[in-house]
């Protein structure tokens, strides 16, 4: 019997945009406030790439430099080897400190304060919400208002059993996806547009939770398929524009650029579609309180109001601010995570077979998962965790603006400086993971089945935080993981996966981690025993 180790942290993918708006602390303030204290070194002594006045090190990531944003993981590891596990870097008007040690990452989260800040992110979605005077969700704000909104959904979405209560909503989506795969395989057993189809699955799975209803991406009804295609195409276009905005100067903040107009168009389409589900959202909110909190429906209004939310006609707005980004962000990150999860299983048939045997042992004869299923499937959890380590969902990790002077790697970093925890890079470091390029789920197990582990220390849980950690951890973590588990179970119950191409699938960071080539995975129907 496998047992999953708890040494990895239990923790959205934060975006960590390289073009944050400047924080309140200026460089001169920073230098002045960090004179060497005792045995600690000053901030001015911290090494890092120097760059040029005004643009910092941004030129290094341009066509004139040696680095590329889409290969940011390689760049971070290169700089870490040159400057050490703590170095500073300036990109445009933003100054940041990169950290690569689990103890420093533990410090970052431990000292993040009651109202953790990820900095003032230059985000096209935030600009759109402000310009169109729409509700701004807690994902884009800090301070007391963030705390008020976060508290309102904390027990709703992050309760340990919250996701499993929706397993009967998500399981049919996985079953429909298996049927879709079976019907759309070519003669070689390959799905021609598998990467795009994975996003259809994650979108349908997320919508089942967010709206309590199906979108219909696998529905053969022409009307349902038409509506689903509109939303699916809008999200695809949203992804493209979002990616372009992330790695360019945010001119859209000052005037409506052509790129911004493209974003505005698809955002309006998506929000118009989401608006159709307002009544369903309202029922869903009440249902959360009724089932998770064990209260009667007629007491739900008091519970909502007690958390600072209204129960009038605009009750869906605060929760819409949660659900709408989930459809966009979770679809991007979860779809890519599923792509790499299936690829890693296909490229490592011996690991796939171990997982298949576990599935058969727990769910013989293609039984459907229940709320208790995952407790008995440690290898499934380890297999996904290992895929997250190899292919971190976003381009780097988590970031915080520290509310006070804090010591990282023996350097005193002043408050107001953005700290970036390079969790993705640590997953590729030999000192933490022997043979780091190898897909080996057993490294996350304990007991007699554990192998290839590292020398685990008190802060080793901070080596794996695909959903961040602490007060700003991704509220959709459990739902995303459950959707990935259900997909893997349903697919492996029906198909054997293989990848026979000579070149391996590598990563591009745009900023979500995506495959650099088509996912030509072969799906071979399993024969009944």
Over the stretch 17-38, which tens digit does the pLDDT of each residue have?
Answer: 433 444 444 444 444 444 455 6
**Cα–Cα distance between 206 and 216 in angstroms, integer?**
12
CB contact set of 256 (below 8 Å; sequence gap of 6+): 131, 264
SS3 content of the chain, % helix, strand, coil (to 5): 50, 10, 40
Segment 37-55, tens digit of pLDDT: 568 999 999 999 988 888 8
> Domains in the chain: how many in total?
1
**Cα–Cα distance between 22 and 104 in angstroms, integer?**
23
Residues spanned by the domain of 399: 3-525
Q: How does 458-480 read in b/e, with b if 16+ C-beta sit within 10 Å? A: ebbbbbbbbbbbbebbbbbbbbb
Q: How does 340-355 read in b/e, with b if 16+ C-beta sit within 10 Å? A: bbbbbbbbbeebbebb
CATH number of the domain where residue 250 is located:
1.10.630.10
The string of DSSP codes covering 244-307 is HHHTS--GGGTS--HHHHHHHHHHHHHHHHHHTTHHHHHHHHHHHHHHHS---GGGHHHHHHHT
Q: How many angstroms separate the Cα of 429 from the Cα of each of 77, 344, 405, 438?
A: 9, 19, 28, 12
Q: What is the pLDDT of residue 215?
A: 76
Segment 316-351, tens digit of pLDDT: 333 444 445 445 555 568 889 999 999 999 999 999
Contact 194, 523 (CB under 8 A): no
Q: Residues at the annotated binding site for heme?
A: 474
**Cα–Cα distance between 289 and 278 in angstroms, integer?**
17
The mean per-residue pLDDT over the stretch 435-454 comes to: 79
Comparing CA positions, the residue from 116, 117, 79 lying closest to residue 98 is: 79
The mean per-residue pLDDT over the stretch 291-295 comes to: 41
Q: What is the pLDDT of residue 155?
A: 67
Q: Tell me the pLDDT band of 452, cut-offs 50, 70 and 90.
A: low
To which residue do tokens 């809008």 refer?
A: 234
Crossing angle of helices 331-347 and 194-210, in 10° steps, is 130
Pick 417 or 280 by higher pLDDT: 417
Segment 77-130, tens digit of pLDDT: 999 999 999 999 998 878 899 999 999 999 999 999 999 998 876 678 888 888
Q: What is the pLDDT of residue 237?
A: 78
Q: What is the pLDDT of residue 292?
A: 40
Both tokens of 291, joined, read: 């089932």
Q: Residues at the annotated binding site?
A: 474
């Amino acid at each position: 019997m496998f047992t999953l180790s708890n040494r990895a942290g239990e923790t959205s993918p934060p975006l960590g945009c390289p073009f944050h708006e400047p924080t309140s602390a200026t460089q001169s303030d920073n230098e002045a406030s960090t004179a060497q204290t005792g045995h600690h070194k000053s901030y001015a002594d911290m090494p890092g790439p120097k760059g040029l006045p005004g643009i910092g090190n941004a030129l290094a990531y341009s066509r004139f430099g040696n680095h590329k944003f889409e290969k940011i993981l390689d760049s971070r590891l290169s700089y870490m080897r040159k400057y050490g596990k703590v170095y500073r870097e300036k990109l445009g008007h933003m100054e940041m400190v990169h950290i690569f040690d689990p103890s420093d990452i533990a410090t970052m989260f431990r000292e993040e304060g009651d109202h953790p800040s990820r900095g003032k992110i230059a985000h096209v979605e935030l600009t759109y919400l402000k310009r169109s005077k729409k509700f701004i969700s807690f994902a884009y704000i800090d301070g007391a208002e963030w705390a008020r909104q976060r508290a309102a959904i904390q027990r709703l979405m992050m309760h340990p059993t919250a996701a499993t209560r929706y397993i009967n909503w998500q399981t049919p989506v996985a079953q429909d996806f298996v049927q879709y795969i079976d019907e759309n395989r070519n003669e070689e057993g390959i799905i021609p547009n598998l990467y795009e189809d994975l996003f259809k699955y994650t979108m349908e799975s997320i919508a089942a939770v967010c709206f309590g209803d199906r979108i219909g991406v696998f529905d053969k009804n022409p009307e349902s398929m038409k509506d689903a295609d509109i939303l699916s195409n809008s999200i695809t276009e949203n992804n493209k524009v979002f990616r372009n905005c992330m790695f360019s100067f945010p001119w859209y903040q000052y005037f409506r650029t052509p790129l911004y107009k493209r974003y505005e168009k698809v955002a309006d389409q998506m929000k118009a579609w989401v608006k159709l589900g307002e009544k369903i959202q309202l029922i869903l909110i009440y249902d959360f309180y009724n089932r998770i909190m064990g209260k009667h429906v007629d007491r739900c209004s008091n519970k909502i109001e007690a958390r600072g939310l209204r129960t009038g006609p605009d009750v869906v707005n605060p929760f819409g601010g949660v659900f709408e980004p989930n459809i966009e962000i979770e679809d991007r990150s979860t779809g890519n995570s599923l792509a790499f999860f299936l690829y890693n299983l296909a490229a490592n048939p011996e690991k796939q077979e171990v997982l298949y045997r576990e599935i058969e042992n727990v769910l013989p004869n293609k039984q459907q998962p229940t709320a208790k299923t995952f407790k008995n499937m440690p290898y499934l959890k380890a297999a996904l965790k290992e895929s997250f380590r190899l292919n971190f969902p976003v381009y780097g990790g988590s970031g915080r603006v520290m509310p006070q002077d804090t010591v990282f790697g023996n350097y005193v970093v002043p408050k107001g400086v953005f700290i970036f925890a390079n969790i993705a890079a640590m997953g590729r470091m030999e000192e933490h993971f022997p043979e780091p390029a190898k897909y080996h789920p057993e490294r996350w197990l304990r007991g007699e089945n554990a192998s290839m582990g590292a020398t685990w220390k008190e802060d080793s849980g901070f080596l794996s935080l695909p959903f961040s950690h602490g007060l700003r951890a991704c509220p959709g973590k459990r739902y995303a993981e459950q959707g990935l588990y259900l997909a893997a179970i349903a697919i492996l119950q029906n198909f054997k996966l293989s990848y026979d191409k000579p070149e391996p699938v590598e990563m591009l960071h745009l900023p979500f981690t995506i495959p650099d080539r088509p996912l030509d995975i072969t799906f071979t129907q399993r024969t009944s025993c």
